[in-house]
Amino acid sequence: MSTALSLTPEELTFQKDARAFVERTLAPLAEDIERGRKEAWDVLRGFGKAGYLGSRYPRKYGGTGRGLVYEVLATEEICAAHAGTDMARVASCILFAHPTFEFGTEVQRKQYLTPVARGDRIGGLCITEPNVGSDVAGTQTRAERQGDGFVINGEKRFITNGPVADYLLVYTVTDPKVDAKEGMTAFIVESKWPGFEVVEEYELLGMHGAHVGHLAFRNVKVPGENVLGELNKGFKVVMAGLDAERTILAAEMNGIARAAMEEAVHYSDERSQFRRKIREFEGVSFKIADMAMKLDAAQLLTLKAARLIDAGKPATKAAAIAKLFACESAIETATNALQVLGGIGYTRKRPVERYLRDARLMTIGGGTAEILRFLIQREVYREYGL
């Protein structure tokens, strides 16, 4: 990682150990996961035992308590080996687990967070709906009180881990008389409960190995104690984790960009045309220079956002910049890496085509490029008091 000078000795040791662990356990199986011959979670459960699933949570909940910087370092290493596997990991161990840690009761943390942080159970986050994407406040799924609990009805789609999750964090409207921001509630739902249905599992362009589905909740009865946080305060739960999520997604894209660049570097040193290695042609070597420059910048932006969050400081602008820059840079790097490899890069004999397919998702998921640009400019004007 090019940010070595920005890491402490302890962080560098963790990074080195994480890379070695990933290269030993995940990298040899990446192609099997990619082609559906092996399940990502068969590998990820071993990551839990090794301490790579719960960097943000205390040991008593199955984590290591190291913080977001360590999470970012692990994320880049895992994603460099296989992005779809890390997408499944993040959906469970961050998108589900972190709100449960931040807003959960002690009982909820022990019952739902601990097994997820250890890799014994799989979590998922349910926000997006057939008619609701970036506009979270437009949520249409409803939860109506029934006795001591609630009954949930609605549909969610594009839910990572949805078809395989044990636990789902589901956002619903509990007070339809007010704006959804004031009447939204988060619930922890167990997929084994009657009324939960996997309507469809999507086939994706990239991120193979991650199960993404369309889910239905048909009169699903949920105990009152499974409200996460306060009743009608679910919008606060949604917003609380977005900066960390975007920072982690930036780290994922850095992993893809690094892997794509390394593929291009090695190939350009092996391949010869016109009696010269193709790295000697500026049309190739300048592409490598651009890759290295943008990877350095993306890694440093990601680390900056992670350190701000670990320090408890505002990070909305930093996280949005990190994710947007890392995502767009990863797409460009993967595109240029494929160009360096030429025809062989367009085949599945080399992983560079996978890097391009995988990177393309993240200008959509976790905050579109358009939404992130809106957030960045909004924060800039606020900083100038305008």
| Residues 283-330 pLDDT 10s | 999 999 999 999 999 999 999 999 999 999 999 999 999 999 999 999
Backbone angles phi, psi at 157, to 5 degrees: -140, 165
Burial string for 365-376 (b: 16+ CB within 10 Å, else e) reads bbbbeeebeebb
Tens of pLDDT, residues 175-222: 988 887 889 999 999 999 999 999 999 999 999 999 999 999 999 999
Q: Is 132 exposed, middle or buried (0-12, 13-18, 19+ CB in 10 A)?
A: buried
Q: Which of 11, 34, 245, 353 is catalytic?
A: 245
pTM above 0.85, yes or no: yes
Q: Give residue-wise pLDDT tens across range 217-247.
A: 999 999 999 999 999 999 999 888 899 999 9
Contacts of 3 (CB under 8 A, 6+ apart): 296, 299, 300, 303
Which CATH number applies to 241-383?
1.20.140.10
Q: What are the residues whose beta carbons fall under 8 Å from the beta carbon of 244, sequence distance 6 or more?
A: 56, 68, 94, 98, 309, 319
Q: Is the dihedral of CA 97, 98, 103, 105 positive or negative?
A: positive
Pairing of strands 196-201, 149-160: unpaired
pLDDT digit string (tens) for 118-164? 999 999 999 999 998 778 878 999 999 999 999 999 999 999 999 99
Residue 245 a catalytic site member: yes
pLDDT of 2 strictly over 60: no
**pLDDT for 248-263, tens place per residue?**
999 999 999 999 999 9
CATH of 124-232, one of 2.40.110.10, 2.60.40.10, 2.60.40.1220, 3.20.190.10: 2.40.110.10
Structural domain boundaries of the chain? 4-121, 124-232, 241-383
Of 59, 46, 89, whose CA–CA distance to 71 is shortest? 89
Beta bridge partners, 216, equal: 155, 197
Same CATH topology for 124-232 and 241-383: the answer is no
Asked if residue 1 has pLDDT above 50, the reply is no
**CATH 3.40.50.300 applies to domain 4-121:** no
